[in-house]
A and B are shown apart, each in its own frame.
Chain A
Amino acid sequence: MRSWYRRAPLAGAAVAALGAGAALTAAGSASAQGEQEVSEVSVVHGIPGQPVDVYVDGDAVLEGFAPGEIAGPLELPAGAYDIAVTEPGGDPDTGAILNIAGAEVPGDANLSLVAHLDEDGQPTLAPFVNEPAALAAGEAKLTVRHTAAAPAVDVRAGGEPAFTDLTNPNENTATVAAGTLEADVVLAGTDTVALGPAVLDLAEGTSTIVYAVGSADEQTLELVVQTIEGMHSPPEGVPSGTGGLAATGVASWWYGLATLSVLMLVGGALWSRSAAEQASQ
């Protein structure tokens, strides 16, 4: 009885619930946030070899959705949704491969709903929470999600371990300088490359989410990449002159000098005239 956006403590429960076709109903704080708040929900297909249709509350939102594809974001008002995944043309009520009944979508969240294999190779449907918070100018965010039927892995960036001992269905994330990064995935604690290397373009102000999907046994491991834009911030400022040649306005002491000069001119003239008058008497 929890909202699915609090994913970390939920992962096990979600998998169990989906396997049994049971309801993943939610209550409490999420629905209290109000009916009008909208969440963005992307759908990620990480199950090899099986195109599907995706239904939300009985309506087909995706047809012929192919492995490796990412759909959305769907904009869903906060509320409970029945989500079903079928073979193409299948019946969402009776022929679902995967489903979640009464999945609670909170307001104002960014979620990725991922159809993938669990560590044992069984299809599952799991939500991940994306946190598109603002990044400083020049930064990018990298997240890696282990959603493959494979053991624990390390993710290396430029040959150096970046994330270690990552297991299905967990994730790791880091904020890095924007730019390209050569990354690969190795079996945890080894140099045995399971995936990659791949050159990732981590665009500034963008979240790049890399899913490891497929099955190690079936040799269908691959990377699926989702990006979320719009997290950029402007630079701190634009310093573009150090010479003073183009100065407009003048330092305030110039105005003081001008005032003083007027006093000297007027005072001097008056004083001088009075002196002259006295001298002529």
Chain B
Amino acid sequence: MRGVHGRHAHGGARAGRGRVTALVAVTGLLLLIVSGVAIARGQVVTEVGGAEVARLSSPPPAGSPPPAGSPPPAGSPPQSPVPVADGRTLPSDQTRPPATLRIPAIGLSAQVDPVGVDADSGEFDVPPSIDRVGWYRYGPGLEASAGSVVIAGHVDSAAQGRGAFFRLPELSPGDRIELSDAGGGVHGFEVVGRTVYDKSEIPLERYFARDGAPRLTLITCGGEFDAQVGSYRDNVVVTAIPAS
């Protein structure tokens, strides 16, 4: 009796344990699917054209002829002619701001605001309105024959959702970018590179340079998001060169 009873009880426990373990397995499967989807959706923005971007900001290689006005050897007389300017003409701002930015490949058309740096943080003062982008007014503008014209925009914001540069990481070499000035004149550019940096490692001197080849630099955020701080880990940078 006892044996029969015991076997019954034992069998019921086994069946119950079987249900529990099956439940564990199914839960594990569901969690695996959920976490797998989350990880798959977080694929990293890839880089392209890094060498070209570096070349644009690099000084001419050693061995190239020295630029005009370079120092003569010690002891030789200074060379004429020396540039002369009228010091009585007070300097005035010759920078020509871009007014609108258009990137057909990602369906973007945005107003461009001239911005500087945040007085407290010293950081780029990206326009708070996420459908606008900010042009760094201290650097070169559309008049530039050298250096990097910098435009930064929000990828998104907690309050306003997707920003003007949400799809910036989709840009690839060859994509066309257009900047218009206040008079409607269009300046065309062609994407040559896309790079991603940890914000602590981005070579900002290169991207905010006022010398080197004339180029357009578009910057936004990307990479891992720290929800506690409300901040992305990376900057995504797209570089373009003038194109007709």
Chain A residues near B (Cβ < 8 Å): 35-36, 38, 43-45, 56-62, 65, 68-72, 74-79, 136-138, 178, 198-201, 203-205, 208, 211, 222-227, 229-230, 232-251, 254-255, 257-258, 260-269, 271-272, 275-276, 278-279
Contact = CB atoms under 8 A, between A and B. Distances in A.
B225 A244 contact: yes
Given A35-B74, A238-B152, A70 B84 contact: yes
A74 B82 CA distance: 7
A206 B223 CA distance: 35
Contact of A223 (B34, B88, B122): B88
B87 A239 contact: no
Interface in B109-167: 116-117, 119, 121-124, 126, 136, 138-139, 152-163, 165-166
Contact of B39 (A58, A233, A258): A258
B107 to A, nearest CB: 16
Interface stretch (B53-61, B89-97, B174-182, B184-192): B89-97
B24 interface: yes
Main secondary structure of the interface of A (DSSP, over half): mixed
Contacts of B73: 77
A237 B155 contact: no
A201 B92 contact: yes
Interface size class of B (residues with CB under 8 A): 35 or more
A42 B116 CA distance: 30
A272 B18 contact: yes
Contacts of B239: none
A208 B53 CA distance: 32
A65 to B, nearest CB: 7
Given A65-B84, A71-B84, A246-B221, A241 B155 contact: yes
Contacts of A247: 42, 222-225, 232
A77 B221 CA distance: 46
Given A61-B80, A178-B138, A242 B158 contact: yes
Given A225-B91, A247-B225, A272-B25, A262 B32 contact: yes
Contacts of A65: 84
B87 A68 contact: yes
Contact of A264 (B25, B91, B121): B25
A238 to B, nearest CB: 4
Contacts of A38: 71
A72 B84 CA distance: 6
B92 to A, nearest CB: 5
Contacts of B84: 62, 65, 69-71
Interface string B201-242: 010110110100000000111111101001111010000000
Contact of A261 (B14, B32, B78, B152): B32
A237 B123 contact: yes
A267 B24 CA distance: 8
A244 B17 CA distance: 42
Contact of B122 (A75, A77, A136, A255): A136
A261 B83 contact: no
A268 B22 contact: yes
10 interchain residue pairs of minimum CB distance: A264-B28, A268-B25, A265-B28, A261-B31, A243-B156, A268-B24, A241-B221, A224-B87, A247-B225, A272-B21
A68 B28 contact: no
24 contacts: A56-B77, A69-B84, A70-B85, A72-B83, A76-B71, A76-B78, A198-B90, A222-B88, A234-B207, A236-B122, A238-B126, A240-B220, A241-B154, A241-B155, A242-B159, A243-B161, A245-B166, A246-B156, A247-B42, A247-B222, A255-B35, A261-B29, A261-B34, A264-B25
Nearest to B84: A71
Nearest to A60: B80
B88 A250 contact: no
Contacts of A224: 87-88
Contacts of A75: 69-72, 78
A246 to B, nearest CB: 4
Given A71-B82, A77-B75, A260-B31, A239 B123 contact: yes
